[in-house]
A and B are shown apart, each in its own frame.
Chain A
């Protein structure tokens, strides 16, 4: 009996020790590589302690969060913006964070434009963990060798491609590895000719069979036919020797269109940021258009049914502060969400400055801007186009069928 009592006391002690170690605020995220940086940033919050749980696999992360939202969700969790968070908003499972936004907007510390990526019916349901733009990465060494300069017009861009091709290199790398990257060039070709049409298309007000989509596919096809783009088979990052990123660092591929979050991977490929690689935003094909750039925001949300909801809301308040934003920018090189925090250094900082000062129109990425049901099937259809560029008419029809199926029921 004595033994049993000691065991029970021991177990009780162990459990109480475990509970005392657990944080006040739980954060679930699928960016396992960011774990140390989350910890370092939230360490600055003296009001709350945190239990930060990384998930290595995105699918299991999504399944866990979705299943937990009605039962025992974490206070904070990362997600994807736009339509990818809409079903949670519609189901009333995430907290309206407008009061926190209002406070920081009133103080002039955050831009109200930033909230738009997370807004539904005038309420804002998330704060940004990631802010990224989608410029063209280019290899400065090759540019210097061939005597090229950053293109300011579509004609200059294509002229650069011709010279790069003539030098035996591939002007543009593209990949459809992992399915999702297929939308990257699709959206880019659309916004370079008609960004209003793009926004109508993703919202179901325009059709995938419209001439603007055909023009986008034909431009894409002509680039592939001319050998300006590779066949899309290369892997994205470091996985294989001939991955898009590795070919870029070797100068075999001279441009890549990727989010600014890819910067550290590019530098990790062995070429120096600023001296050897840089950014430019693609010029418009329709020269009369104002400059624009694809924008991506990754949200942090608060679960309505979380036990630690009040602490989580307090944590969001901290996250929006200058201190948290400055630390996050320092660690991640992301543009800051708090305007008082300084811009990141390097190429990203220069780019953000150019976008802010140049009055660029910021256009939501296709992945978040269109309903998930359409997007997930669309990337496979667009992949079929990359595999066989002559199939664009079939692809357009199939995309419209997907859109019709969704919009007729929603």
Chain B
């Protein structure tokens, strides 16, 4: 490696960030990884137990539900916020006061997940607003305690999450749509393309990189979903709405099997890392192209 004055200076510039990231991110990651091979309970000296925690994780039938729920979350909490975000972005760009609608749709994204969870706890309660609205429009027979019954509780929470996550996706798509060249659109319109044909054949292919970015971001966030679930149902009742991140918290901070919780955390991080790799690859490729 050839060090000269310029490169030394460059290293000095990035040193604070590197040190901070190492201390705050890298060190805990390494500690967690090591902990996942121990029986650490936070009280007694930890013993190395090899892959026992990982074997337990994959063999324990109790983890079928969290894994299943995490997959449902990952799929639906990616598809809905991204699709609805795109629809909003595409629709409001033609409106005269689009800024107003942008703000309106983005506001939920500024609310903390915990606060939104409390809010939706009330809305989805047996006597909550959602059931009242259903009754008002003649669907009283659909009334139920949305957070108490499985699988309704998982789907309800995904609905609440979609309310929050749509705004950020809409913003991503607005940026993409605003940067589109006008000529191909006009040419397509002259050739008779309109409505869904125009959207699916012209617009979506042209902003595909933004779809990839929005989808990967949504995948990363939904795979590690914790706060919304913890606030609304704590993964219950009967663990029926538990996700892997809730499992991690429960094992770590309720049962204090920190080694096992670390193994779950490593699994979540590895999957998140794969999504993040593709996310960064697509972002960096896009930047290279531009």
Contacts and interface: CB of A to CB of B under 8 A. Distances in A.
Interface of A: 59-60, 62-63, 66-67, 69-70, 87-88, 91, 93, 176, 178-179, 231-235, 239-242, 372-373, 376-377, 380-381, 383-384, 386-387
Contacts of B68: none
12 contacts: A62-B256, A63-B253, A66-B256, A176-B236, A179-B234, A233-B126, A233-B148, A242-B126, A380-B239, A383-B239, A384-B238, A387-B237
Nearest to A60: B253
B8 interface: no
A380 B126 contact: no
Nearest to B42: A66
A92 to B, nearest CB: 10
Given A62-B256, A383-B238, A242 B127 contact: yes
B253 A383 contact: no
Given A62-B253, A66-B256, A372-B255, A380 B127 contact: no
B125 interface: yes
Contacts of B2: none
B43 A87 contact: yes
Contacts of A66: 42-43, 256
Contacts of B126: 233-234, 242
Contact of B255 (A60, A69, A91, A376): A376
B122 interface: yes
Given A91-B44, A176-B236, A233-B145, A59 B255 contact: no
Given A66-B42, A87-B41, A178 B234 contact: yes
B42 A386 contact: no
Contacts, number: 72
Contacts of A235: 125
B127 A241 contact: yes
A380 B238 contact: yes
Given A233-B126, A240-B122, A67 B238 contact: no
Interface in B125-140: 125-128
Given A67-B42, A179-B236, A387-B149, 5 more contacts: A66-B256, A88-B43, A383-B236, A386-B238, A387-B237
Nearest to A382: B238
Contacts of A87: 41, 43-44, 256
B69 to A, nearest CB: 14
B239 to A, nearest CB: 5
B20 interface: no
A242 B126 CA distance: 8
A87 B234 CA distance: 25
B125 A240 contact: yes
A346 B122 CA distance: 34
A59 B254 contact: yes
Contacts of A178: 234
Contacts of B125: 235, 240, 242
Interface in B212-261: 234, 236-240, 249-250, 253-257
Nearest to B236: A179
Given A67-B42, A91-B43, A240-B127, A59 B253 contact: yes
Contact of A387 (B43, B234, B238): B238
Contacts of A69: 43
B247 to A, nearest CB: 12
A232 B127 CA distance: 15
A241 B122 CA distance: 9
Contact of B238 (A70, A239, A381): A381
A383 B127 contact: no
Chain A CB within 10 A, most for which of B43, B255, B257: B43
Contact of A179 (B62, B121, B150, B237): B237
Nearest to B234: A179
A205 B202 CA distance: 71
Contacts of A242: 125-127
Nearest to A385: B238
Which 7 pairs of residues, A with B, have the shortest CB-CB distance?
A384-B238, A383-B238, A233-B148, A66-B42, A59-B253, A383-B237, A233-B145
A384 B65 CA distance: 13
Nearest to B239: A380
Contacts of A383: 236-239
A380 B150 CA distance: 14
B42 A176 contact: no
Contacts of B62: 377
Interface string B149-160: 110000000000
Interface string B90-133: 00000000000000000000000000000001100111100000
Nearest to A386: B237
B49 to A, nearest CB: 12
Contacts of A373: 255, 257
Nearest to B148: A233
Contacts of A59: 249, 253-254
Contacts of A63: 42, 253
B112 to A, nearest CB: 15
